[in-house]
Amino acid sequence: MIKNFAHRGFSGKYPENTMLAFKKAIEFGADGIELDVQLTKDEEIVIIHDETIDRTTNGKGLVSDYTYEELCKFDASFIYHGQMGFNKIPTLREYLELVKDKNIVTNIELKTGILEYIGIEEKVWELIQEYKIEKKVIISSFNHYSILRMKELAPDLKYGLLSESWLINAGKYAHDLGIQCYHPIHYNLTPEIINEIKKYGIEINTYTVNKESDIRYLIEKGIDIIIGNFPDLTGELIKEYK
């Protein structure tokens, strides 16, 4: 059955990658949550999409130039002009405390595509083990070397190869690397591409799907996971097809 994942939490209505957006995603019935991780100067794993804090907070500069304590002063919901209160950048640990006993799958995206954050894979793996969420996690990245590094450390986890381009023979590519899932941008999913990926038994988990017509197309095509900013809408549409 197709699953409904909240992209950066319920980011269509709440500040992305904040505890508020994660709690709202759970409240609105998401099956899973997608989030992005980066490393601070003192090597804390924090949940934030960009390498800098400029777009999503009222601060400026690289995440990796701040200690976690310093980052806590910035408001990750500043674009809502106070309507959402003050929301700090969460740590991955804080998030795992929230979901550890819940029936929620977490898609952790390693943001190692621009800054490599050497050692982030080990740190994420340590937390997964500490919180015992091995069966409730999918690790994805646009940096496929990063995925292979983590697979060396934790061969039994589920992994996804992110792609924003029209990769040829994506199913074969994932299969040959021993990776279970392919995470393409949704508009690349033509019937031919879907068939090629499915032929290799690879799961298709696609982003960022926000429009009703796109959600319907992907449900009808039997995609595995829809990752979108509006888990309320995706959830309603999935119910219709049950």
Min CB(142)–ligand G3P separation in Å: 7
Subset of 15-54 contacting ligand G3P (CB under 6 A): 34, 36, 49
SS3 179: coil
Burial 71-93 (b: 16+ CB within 10 A, else e): beebbbbbeeeeebeebbbbbbe
* 7 carries an active-site annotation: yes
Q: State the pairing for strand pair 105-110/45-47.
A: unpaired
CB 4 within 8 A of CB 29: yes
CB 126 within 8 A of CB 103: no
CB 40 within 8 A of CB 68: yes
Residue 84 touches which member of Ca ion, ligand G3P, none, C-beta under 5-8 Å by kind: none
Largest CA distance in the chain: 49
Min CB(108)–Ca ion separation in Å: 9
Residue 207 touches which member of Ca ion, ligand G3P, none, C-beta under 5-8 Å by kind: ligand G3P
Min CB(112)–Ca ion separation in Å: 12
Interaction between residue 227 and ligand G3P (CB under 6 A):
yes
Task: State the DSSP code for 225.
Answer: E
* 186 carries an active-site annotation: no
Interaction between residue 16 and Ca ion (CB under 5 A):
no
Among 31, 44, 75, 109, binds ligand G3P (CB under 6 A): 109
Using CB under 6 A, list all residues that contact ligand G3P. 7, 34, 36, 49, 109, 140, 162, 183, 207-208, 227
Residues forming the active site:
7, 49
